[in-house]
Amino acid sequence: MDLLNTLVEKGLRRELPTREEALAVLATSDDDVLDVVAAAGKVRRQWFGRRVKLNYLVNLKSGLCPEDCSYCSQRLGSKAEILKYTWLKPEEASEAAAAGVAGGAKRVCLVASGRGPTDRDVDRVSRTIEAIKEQNEGVEVCACLGLLSDGQAERLRDAGADAYNHNLNTSEGTYGDITTTHTYADRVDTVNKAHAAGLSACSGLIAGMGESDEDLVDVVFALRELDPDSVPVNFLIPFEGTPLAKEWHLTPQRCLRILAMTRFVCPDVEVRLAGGREVHLRSMQPLALHLVNSIFLGDYLTSEGQAGKTDLEMIADAGFEVEGSDTTTLPEHRAAGGGCGSVCGDGDSGGCASEAAEARTTAAPAGEASAARTDLVAVRRRGAGTDLAPNA
């Protein structure tokens, strides 16, 4: 397929595909999905070999969020029966993080619900970061606390944070349909604050919220423009009690196409398979390892994930290896702070910037909708905030 050969060549050169090429990946048929995976896998192996980085989530504060993000079980007005608790103490969070590190996690992601941290919250998280770093030599710590105010990213950096996560989630054109209590521009501003403070920026998306192919391409091109080091790709977990509980548009094949498109647009970036993989990829999860170079180990914020032991077995059985703490994740040109470099200008957008959104198609093309698998959506009842052992 000429399209895939072209995309492989561009990916090996770190060259931005055209929007038409990215859309064409999403439009390929299920019959061609293995060809798509094989092509994107060549790009993945060029920059990351067969290494898989493991990340572990610690939910520092669960539920009771004042924001109205439609996809979130912790949102204002959510009726999802999730765990609700206030801030974990630094020693509690450090103990939870240690379980993930013992399971092979190289990065610990500290997440707290809410619009954004107060200065007191930043102090609290800073103590938590220090406690985790003292206990676990060489571990990376990423904070995800919502919208940042001036100076907060620098304080987190000074406390030892390595990265900051704040996802764009969806395209600018449809953002207002998903969230009304803050804007797409607010999210971009926070990613830029993390960059400016010298933190490794982490920003990704959520697929399966009723968006079109054009929306998916828009958000991934926007991420390429922001130039984060890592791009988590989440697949909507339709929690009962949230506005998007009936959104079941994803198939395993569509998930693979979305991951492949992300890899082609962001060839040398840590692409992370994040929430919802067990729900939507199911038995095809091992194929996704040919596209991503990073996954979350065990459970998520409010939902249970695949058993940590099963994650490790899946990685080994698929012929991949867990990345050690002595290995630098990013290719040398990115690890040195080079980012995407001037090569980004070789695509059709006149630089890294994505073009204005085109006319949008229907959200769920014919044949894409899958049956609801509510049996696979399990609320987390163990780990942080409970007396039960974590899944790691």
- Name 95's Cβ contacts closer than 8 Å, sequence gap at least 6: none
Catalytic residue among 109, 266, 344, 352: 109
**Beta-strand (E) ranges in 305-366?**
321-322
Nearest-angstrom CA–CA distance, 242 and 29 = 31
Distance CA 43, CA 225 (A): 19
Catalytic, out of 72, 255, 340, 344: 72
65 catalytic per annotation:
yes
Cβ partners under 8 Å of residue 267, min gap 6: 10, 11, 12, 14, 43, 46, 47
- Read out DSSP for 169-197? BS-GGGHHHH-SSS-HHHHHHHHHHHHHT
Q: Catalytic pick from 187, 257, 263, 272?
A: 272
Question: Which residue out of 107, 142, 255, 277 is catalytically annotated?
Answer: 142
Instruction: For residue 257, give the amino acid letter.
Output: R
255 is catalytic: no
The single residue of 144, 187, 202, 257 carrying the catalytic annotation is 202
Mapped onto helix, strand or coil, the DSSP state of residue 262 is helix
Count the helix, strand and coil residues of the chain and give each as a percent rounded to the nearest 5.
40, 15, 45
End-to-end CA distance of the chain: 41
Are 363 and 27 in contact by the 8 Å Cβ rule? The answer is no
272: annotated active-site residue: yes
142 is catalytic: yes
Which residue type is seen at 146?
G
DSSP string, 82-127: ---B-PPPHHHHHHHHHHHHHTT-SEEEEEE-SSS--HHHHHHHHH
Selecting among 14, 19, 44, 65, the annotated active-site residue is: 65
Exactly one of 14, 69, 144, 380 is catalytic; name it: 69
Q: Annotated catalytic sites, by residue?
A: 65, 69, 72, 109, 142, 202, 272
